[in-house]
Structure 1
Amino acid sequence: MTVPPLPEDPAARTKTPSPALFTRRRAVGAAGIATVGAVGLSACGSGGGSDDDAAATPTAPATPVDVAAAADIPVGSGVKVDSGGVQAVVGQPTEGTFTAFSPVCPHEGCIVNPANRQYVCPCHSSAFDMATGEVKGGPAPRGLTEYPVTVRNGRVIVG
């Protein structure tokens, strides 16, 4: 942005900007402050397990969905799936035992990642047990929402 030179007339230097310009600047500034404030407030969840959290709690799919081959989920690990309208983290905490949970962290709604027999939230480091979905650490107020899971013909079915 180029700044115009000051006027030669000293009296002109003391004049205030025109009311229209001043109003436009104030409006743009106020809009910017309002936007920053709204974004800041939306990032500050209560994390306290309020009644609002219950409405946002994910539910299991209405109909069972084939999400992965059992052979594609290593023992002690898990995968994120988004298939047939189902978003889940599916794990095999011990050989032959499969679990499925909502991938949504109950603290701030971030999507958890499988890591070393647990699920970890990348936003605030909440950790959840892969076998039970229970909170192992971090600010999450409760565990992950469990989904029913079965294995049929070598395929993992959620719902």
Structure 2
Amino acid sequence: MSHSTCLSLKDSNSFPIPGLAADILHMRVKEGSKIRNLLRFATARMQEEGEERKGALLRQVIFTGSGRGVTKTITCVEILKRKVGGLHQVSKLYYKTASDVWESPQTGASSVSMQRTIPSICILLSKDPLDPQEPGYQPPETPGVTNEDAKRQRVLLGSIK
């Protein structure tokens, strides 16, 4: 039997994050993608401060990955946030539908089809502020202060009052 997989989305250019610009930089991360190549390209584009690209500055980038590419997607985002700094983030988890079809080499035999869901992630990084009420929002990290340290500081300051 031969096997083929077909991924389908309602719209291949749709993202689970509302209000994105039409010309946003989309970084598709796959299992075999090289992190250094993805980051070299995305970092260069995000650090083009003052340089115009088709009349607009690149202010946002979106990373997407599915299946085994999800962890690599997260790694790319975390490294880029440290390299560029001051980036707002919105992360969304969702599922893609994949159709697996097995076709018999015998003529006249029917094919077998199966639908499965593949976990996927979509992460928006923006130089501009994003809606903090949007589920999955993370503010920019303060240099030298981790999120855990910031939480501890807020708890300590709250107990002093």
TM over 0.5: no
- Higher RCO (CA 8 Å, separation ≥ 6 residues): 2
Which structure has the bigger radius of gyration? 1
User: TM-score under structure 2 normalisation?
Assistant: 0.24
- TM-score (structure 1 length as normaliser): 0.24
**Greater share of residues in helix:** 2
